[in-house]
């Protein structure tokens, strides 16, 4: 019967597979898990409410949505595109290479710069799209536009994920050190984990820059057809 308590995981899996509303799926999963575990509905709602209150600061990022909407309403994306259009020898690869370098350095120093919602979508993506149109010499196709979006999102993910652990006090480093200490590896320090993360970060930066620069060549060839 203990395995029955894992039914919440199945609900989440099937909910995501059939693309149901994420919030509803997670909420139903929590309620069902609580019921099969012997809790009544009031206890379950109390736990959910307490968890929300204890983590309410996590929802502060929602404040940025109306700010971004106002900025975009007054032409941030158009300004970014226009700026890139006036620069010679610009390309998607160069724009994303610069952002990758800056994003990686910021993550390694634990500086909160970037993010898909607040930085990539309103600023980096329009610049990359304008650069792509300039390289190609015409408007990007739907497929190419989606590729540029994917590369812009990938650069953000790579720069943040692989470089943040270079900072000794980063949350990921603390998690790794705490886990290893719990398993008996108490001699592993925060500094040693951060140092071990540096080669991985450098390799990621180099390979990502190569990848986006190669996409420039592909875009130029497609533009010449």
Residues 190 and 102 in one domain: yes
Residues 6 and 107 in one domain: no
Cα(158)–Cα(76) distance, integer angstroms: 25
User: What's the sign of the alpha-carbon dihedral 44, 50, 13, 165?
Assistant: negative
pLDDT score recorded for residue 125: 87
Residues 94 and 193 in one domain: yes
Whole-model pTM above 0.85?
A: no
CA angle 145, 149, 153 (to 5 degrees): 170
Cα(1)–Cα(20) distance, integer angstroms: 28
- The domain of 133 spans 76-223
The count of structural domains within the chain is 2
pLDDT score recorded for residue 104: 94
What is the radius of gyration, based on Cα positions, of the chain?
Answer: 23
Cα(131)–Cα(126) distance, integer angstroms: 8
Residues 83 and 134 in one domain: yes
The three-class DSSP label of residue 185 is coil
Residue 63 lies in a domain: no
- Per-residue pLDDT tens, the chain, 225 aa: give them: 577 878 888 999 988 888 888 888 888 998 998 898 888 888 888 888 887 776 665 566 566 667 666 766 766 666 666 666 667 788 899 999 999 999 999 999 988 777 887 788 888 888 888 888 887 777 888 899 999 999 999 999 999 999 999 999 888 888 888 888 888 888 889 999 999 999 999 999 999 999 999 998 888 887 655
Residue 113 lies in a domain: yes
pLDDT score recorded for residue 64: 65
| DSSP H helices in 55-165 | 64-73, 76-85, 92-108, 125-136, 142-163
pLDDT score recorded for residue 102: 92
**Rounded to 5, what percent of the chain is helix, strand, coil?**
80, 0, 20
Burial of 44 (0-12, 13-18, 19+ CB in 10 A): middle
Residue 183 lies in a domain: yes
Residues 28 and 139 in one domain: no
């Amino acid at each position: 019967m203990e395995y029955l308590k894992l039914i919440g995981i199945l609900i989440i899996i099937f909910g995501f597979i059939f693309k149901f509303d994420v919030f509803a799926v997670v909420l139903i999963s929590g309620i069902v898990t609580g019921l099969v575990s012997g809790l009544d509905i009031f206890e379950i709602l109390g736990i959910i409410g307490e968890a929300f209150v204890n983590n309410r600061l996590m929802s502060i990022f929602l404040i940025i949505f109306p700010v971004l909407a106002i900025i975009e309403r007054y032409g941030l994306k158009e300004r970014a595109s226009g700026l890139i259009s006036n620069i010679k020898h610009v390309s998607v690869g160069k724009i994303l290479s610069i952002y990758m370098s800056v994003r990686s350095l910021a993550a390694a120093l634990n500086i909160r710069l970037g993010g898909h919602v607040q930085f990539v979508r309103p600023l980096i993506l329009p610049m990359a799209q304008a650069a792509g149109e300039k390289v190609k010499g015409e408007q990007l196709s739907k497929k190419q536009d989606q590729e540029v979006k994917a590369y812009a999102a990938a650069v953000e993910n790579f720069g943040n994920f692989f470089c943040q652990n270079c900072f000794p006090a980063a949350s990921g480093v603390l998690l790794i050190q705490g886990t290893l200490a719990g398993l008996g590896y108490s001699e592993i320090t925060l500094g040693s984990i951060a140092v071990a993360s540096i080669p991985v970060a450098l390799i990621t930066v180099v390979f990502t820059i190569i990848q986006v620069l190669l996409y420039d060549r592909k875009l130029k060839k497609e533009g010449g057809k």
